[in-house]
Amino acid sequence: MTPSSKRAAAALMLLVGAGLLAGCKDQVESKQSGYRGTGMVQVSTAKQTAALAAANQVPEAQPPASQEGKRAKEVYQNLKVLGDLSEEEFNRTMLAINEWVAPEAGCDYCHNTEKMEDDSKYQKVVARRMIQMTQHINEKWKAHVGEVGVTCYTCHRGNGIPAYSWVQNPGPAEAQGMAATGTGKNKASWTAGITALYDDPFTSLLTDPGKIRLQTTSALAPGMSKTIQDTEMTYALMFHLSQSLGVNCDFCHNSRSFSNWSESNPQRVTAWHGLRMVSDINKDYISLLAAVFPDNRKGPLGDPAKANCQTCHQGASKPLLGASMLQDYRPALATETAPK
């Protein structure tokens, strides 16, 4: 090898080495989340952490408003929720909801601006019920949301339709003729963490969360007979949870004994309540709006888009990384308004 070719080879090796070092700049971060020796560690990279922080910025609260003066229902017509707020606080809350849900469309997104009390737009009817749903979550589901609570922004984040939701979708049959099944299996699915498990564990398990549990601590326990298909359905939902929260399985479970509640992390109890909360709001709020939504806002089987874990969490173990927006909108979104 000539001196010039040696120099060229050395330069190439330096370039390759620099490239390898550049690829190592994304520092791996780990956080122990359970007992030592059980592998209960959450792993992330600095880039992932930075991207998550950027995606979970919280908008500034609207300037405070006076709680004195006339009630909103004395000033405006057809107020079925938020009418007991002061006029100023009501307008402040409406401005916030506009920013959270339809910042570009403005009031037109929900209202007939020539007759604001009119209910002709389906978006207004839906928004009213979603406000009640938000109040319900904050008042009745503290076991999951705590005092941090939720607002419209938790799910919408500036979009009229939340980025993550689900509808019943049988999908194409996997074979033809008598062999056609359409079970939603054996296809790489984002829902189930790009596995070949069921791509819709929600219709079954978020309708009846009691079906999720597979393991028992005693032999031949009554009512605990589960099939392989049941197991695959539960695993699909667990993959969804892991992906939605950006965590490993041992964020909630003790990897030494997945079924043992006494050795699990506290987050498992929070998740238990969360699954039941999602079932509750899908059944008693969102699904009941099927007749209100137009066909283009419903799935192939006629059901409206519903919530799952990713709707709120969007890759973070705590929505918006634990920031509370509710504290700036009490009592408007914190106290449940009875349907009228």
Indicate the annotated binding residues for heme.
94, 107, 110-111, 130, 144, 152, 155-156, 238, 249, 252-253, 309, 312-313
**Amino acid making up residue 227:** T
DSSP string, 193-239: TSBSS-S--HHHHTT-GGG-----SSTT-TT----HHHHHHHHHHHH
Q: Which token pair is 205?
A: 């398990």
CA distance 287 to 303: 7
CA distance 278 to 165: 11
Place of tokens 């965590």: 247
Backbone angles phi, psi at 298, to 5 degrees: -120, 160
Indicate the annotated binding residues.
94, 107, 110-111, 130, 144, 152, 155-156, 238, 249, 252-253, 309, 312-313
Place of tokens 């992330």: 44
CA distance 215 to 196: 22
Query: Residues near 164 by Cβ (< 8 Å), separated by ≥ 6?
Result: 244, 308, 310, 311, 314
